[in-house]
Structure 1
Amino acid sequence: MNIEQEFYLFLKERKGLHRLFDAWITQYERLGYAGGSVVVENVKQEEMEAIGTFLGCDLRKQKQIHIYWRQMQKAMDNSRFSTCNIEEVFTLWKGKPLRIKKEERRKKEEFENKMIEKVLEETKDTYFPMWWELQKKQYPEFFHKVKKLLLEDKETLLLCIQAIEQLPYLTHNKKPLAVFAAEISKDPHFFDKGMSYQMLYKGICYRMKKEEPNTLEEKNKLFYDAGLIRDDISNYCMLCHINAEIENQVHAGWNGFFMNYETWNVSLWNLSQIDRIKKDIKKVYILENPSVYRMLCEYGKKYNVNDIGFLCTSGQLNLCAYILLDMLVDSKIQLYYSGDFDPEGMQIADKLKQRYKENIVLWHYDEHDYRKCISNKTISERRLMMLRNIKDLKLMQVSQRIEQEKRSGYQEKLIDVYKEDLL
């Protein structure tokens, strides 16, 4: 069953929408395309509720409902039927071919083809013509949306094309997405959602020759690589005794915290303003727990341990943490990670090991350490199932022990062991 048949059955089951769609079919046959407006008179309660629910508005106490096609289109765009061919739906609804005047259809197609040719000519020196053909051949559903945007909102389409041609990474810059959107369209929220966002997102993938990512974190990384920072202030992590360079000079702000061995919150925006991590240290210890992180930072400062730095993830790593870790690896600084012995902590450790391989050491993450820090807190069977996804061999052995014990182990009990390593 295709999407048009699904939409037809959806309508058929809702009697309150029947007269509305009869009116739209009449309008479509008259115009030769979906547009204009229709009126449903002497509205019954059932119709009032069904139409209001479909459009997402309150139509109570209205004896006559006047609806524009743009309202219908918006309702469909916000539903699972956004990609359907409305003429096919109307044909299914009527049960026979629509009676559209051939001359009007020919004129409509001629008009659309001229518009498409004009836009392709206007954008011939950009990525768009080749991308248009790619969508047409490989992604027909999305191509239908792009074509609709071209025909109904050419200005928005051209702004999206302009954005892809002016991505900050092309000039080795970075900008907050809201600032970039305002520069392109005068609207800071222009790329927040809808087709503008889709055009930007898919355009970046095409321009940078990257597969479309699956997770939100991967999407944020894609935008970051394109020079666009989506969440620059609240996306941060804690670090201590890590220095940075900009234009081959030490960064004054980072250097101040570094020289004073002070812990601070670095944001994604801070990272975008430096060129590299300065190799003033040999290794960085990554801690999951903020309290353990703070105690080790104080210990490092007290005993003037100059060749190490610290990073705190506070649980699951965000984009800021990954960008910082990538920069540390680029500077040939060895990573050490230690977290809790529970399903969530083990998953973080495994994810980091799969990503950074020999560049990261799983620090005090064996069965011996687990026995030292085991608690009385039991782990549910549902959470224990998460351990079955661990890939690293060393962590798999620990996971099996945790499954047997069904109890968590916490970093706080290993602080003395950590301190011995620091010295």
Structure 2
Amino acid sequence: MGRGRIKGVIGLNERLQECIQYFKEEPGLSRLLPKLIERYRSLGRIGGSVQLTGLKPYEKEALSAFFRKDYTRQASATISFTLFENALAKTKYFELAIIDILEAYEGREIKTNSEKQLLIENEKSAFFYELKQEVPEIEDWLSFIERKGRGSRLFHSLYEKDCLELKKILLLVAEAIKSLPQNGQFERLPFFSQRITKNPHAFDLDTELGRAFIHSLQFSLHQKGEWSIIKNKLNTEEVNEILQAFHIFRDDLLNFVTVSGIKGWKNDRIDATIEAAADNRTVLILPLREILKLTSARPHIGKRVFIVENSGVCSAILDRWQLPFYPPLISTNGQFKLAALMLLDLFVQEEIEIYYSGDFDPEGLLMAQRMKLRHSKHVTLWRYSPHDYLKSLSTKEIAIDKLAQLNRLHIPDLESVKTELLKTYRAGYQEELIEELVSDMERYYLTL
């Protein structure tokens, strides 16, 4: 019984090879099996049909002979698996299974597209599982990437191109996360990069490693509720803001804030340069490098500092200033740099009141919200009433996609302004409020 069974299998194998030889040696059928294989691979099962177009005379003859149907007058032929199976049943190859014929013709096991995709997904899952075991400190981030969270396309593209290179990048990011500056210390990005990788440019933002590192920091801030949405593309200020949140800065000379009327101390010694600027009604460009040396800061007079985001507004206030001393006035010059944030932290440390004024557009209002959330007890949002907004109203309409940013605005202090802005779709600018800002400031000093 056993020998007869083996003999039968051998017989089928010989018949299968003979069948394959027939299909490969018959020019008129050379396109048929590859098409059937392609159909099986895409459909995932034996079924459906294929189409042969632009039939040559010799193909028409071969198809007519095999299928016992006249194709000589047709320019194309639609061949279903059922038709192929019925034709095969009328030949000496009737015992052969179609899948065996297709795989023997292909010379290997045929994986369907769905099977291939499942295999790829299983391999990728194994890749991430092993990484999570190796670097558990970034497990949440790896899971976010694995499930294709926002901004993770970079990693999946790298995986498809070179999974070993991706692993190297992710391990370096894990090492960087473990080695972030601690205990209130700050570090320049090139030196941080040199410390981790021995290459000062490894974390440059035009490199895959640099982009991966920034994505990991975005994810960490997002988890803490400090970053609203993980972005694929970030502008320079956003990148700086993310790095600054982890005590890393890209430059400590070009990272600066404009100030007047303040004093600073280095331990118990007053900073003579900052004091001289205040005494002589001089505006000072204060770089982060110098702010890092300060241990405390206070207004030259009073217990309040005033902040505007626009350097032109800052200059206009000083132009109109009538009192004999310059006010403690700070211009952030757009988005908050680390220099501005660190200086404000020094003021808060001394229980100084902070009055902040900015523009009435989505970006400006989000900056105001960020300022308020950073130091809620010490920050007063200055001139943010609906009346102030309507007085500052411009003719510039805000694009719909920009207005969508207002969905991120949630503090009560700005709710009424947000409502008005959504009615008008127009921006408002500080320049229209110069007189009111100056009046508020002078009134404060006249009551001291």
Shorter-chain TM range is 0.5 to 0.7
User: Secondary structure in 1 aligned to 2:199?
Assistant: coil
Tell me the amino acid that sits aligned with residue 279 of structure 2.
Answer: M
Which amino acid in 2 is paired with 1:415? I
Q: 1:253 to 1:162 in 2, by over 3 A?
A: farther
In structure 2, give the amino acid aligned to 1:182. Q
Q: Match of 1:265? A: 285
The 3 A distance-change label for structure 1 pair 324 and 407 is same
8 Å Cα contact 2:362/2:406 also seen in 1: no
Aligned to 1:288: 309
Equivalent in the alignment of 2:193: 181
Equivalent residue in structure 2 for 1:397, among 391, 416, 438: 416
Q: Could you tell me which residue of structure 1 aligns to residue 382 of structure 2?
A: 363
Q: Which runs of 5+ in 1 are unaligned?
A: 1-89, 98-115, 121-127
Instruction: Return the alpha-carbon distance in structure 2 between the equivalents of residues 343 and 222 of structure 1.
Output: 20
Does the 8 A contact of 1:244 with 1:274 survive in 2? yes
**Is the alpha carbon distance of 1:205 and 1:256 closer, same or farther for their aligned partners in structure 2, counting shifts above 3 Å?**
farther
Report the residue type matching 1:291 in the other structure: G
1:378 and 1:406 in contact (8 A); partners too: no
| 3-state SS of paired residue (1:357) | coil
Partner of 2:434: 415
Paired amino acid for 1:188: P
| Counterparts in 2 of 1:349 and 1:170: CA distance versus 1, 3 Å | closer
Residue of structure 1 equivalent to 2:244: 224
Alignment partner of 1:378 is 2:406: no
Tell me the amino acid that sits aligned with residue 316 of structure 2. M
TM-score, length of structure 2 as denominator length: 0.51
- Which of 297, 306, 313 is residue 318 of structure 2 equivalent to? 297
Corresponding position of 2:202: 190
Q: 2:241–2:337: 8 Å Cα contact kept in structure 1?
A: no
- The alpha carbon displacement at 1:219 in A equals 5.8
How far the C-alpha of 1:336 sits from its partner, in A, is 1.1
Query: Closer, same or farther in 2 for the Cα pair 1:221/1:269, shift >3 Å?
Result: farther
TM-score (norm 1): 0.54
1:308-323 → structure 2 map (5 Å cutoff): 308-323=327-342
Distance 2:308 2:168 in 1: 49
Shift of the alpha carbon at 1:138?
7.8
Q: Secondary structure at the match of 2:384?
A: coil
Structure 2 CA distance for aligned equivalents of residues 205 and 374 of structure 1: 37
SS of residue matched to 2:182:
helix
Q: Which residue of 2 aligns with 1:131?
A: 137
Residues 240 and 297 of structure 1 are in contact (CA less than 8 Å); yes or no, is this contact kept in structure 2? no
SS in structure 2 of the partner of residue 365 of structure 1 = coil
Name the counterpart of 2:24: none
Kept in 2, the 8 Å contact 1:336–1:362? The answer is yes
SS of 2:328 mapped into structure 1? strand
* 3-state SS of 1:274 partner: coil
Asked whether 1:328 is paired with 2:342, we answer no
Cα RMSD (Å) of the superposition? 5.0
CA shift, 1:413, in A, is 3.6
Distance 1:197 1:407 in 2: 35
8 Å contact from structure 1 (residues 340, 411) kept in 2:
yes
8 A contact 1:285–1:336 mirrored in 2: yes
- CA distance 1:197–1:369, change in 2 (3 Å): closer
Aligned to 1:30: none
Aligned-partner residue type, residue 382 of structure 1:
A
Aligned length: 308
1:295-337 Cα distance to aligned partner (Å, 9 max, x none): 323555x52347x411123444344433433333233211112
Q: Equivalent residue of 1:335, what SS?
A: strand
Measured against aligned partners, the alpha-carbon deviations of 1:196-216 in whole angstroms (never above 9, x if no partner) come to 66368749988xx96795465
CA distance in 1, matches of 2:392, 2:245: 41
Q: Which runs of 5+ in 2 are unaligned?
A: 1-109, 117-129, 149-154, 443-448
The CA distance in 1 between the partners of 2:356 and 2:188, in whole Å, is 30
129 and 362 in structure 1: CA distance in 2 versus 1, 3 angstrom threshold: closer
Deviation by residue 1:216-263 (Cα, 9 ceiling, x = unmatched): 567644533544212444443322223323334323443343333322
Q: Distance in 2 between matches of 1:388 and 1:163?
A: 34
> Relative to 1, partners in 2 of residues 1:361 and 1:179: Cα closer, same or farther, differing over 3 Å?
same
Check 1:130–1:265 CA distance in 2 against 1; reply closer, same or farther (3 A cut).
Answer: same
Matches within 5 A, 1:5-404: 130-131=136-137, 166-167=179-180, 169-170=181-182, 172-191=184-203, 192=205, 193-195=207-209, 198=212, 202=216, 213=227, 214=229, 220-278=240-298, 280-281=300-301, 282-300=303-321, 303-305=323-325, 308-370=327-389, 373-374=391-392, 377-380=394-397, 382=399, 385=403, 389=407, 390-393=409-412, 395-401=414-420
Q: Deviations over 1:276-295 (max 9, x none)?
A: 33465511111233222113
- Report the Cα distance in structure 1 between the residues aligned to 2:245 and 2:406, rounded to whole angstroms: 33
Greater radius of gyration (CA): 2
Q: 1:292 and 1:132, CA in 2 relative to 1: closer, same or farther beyond 3 A?
A: closer
What per-residue deviation string (whole Å, max 9, x for no partner) do you get for residues 357-398 of structure 1? Answer: 342222233244345x355x4243636945964544454334
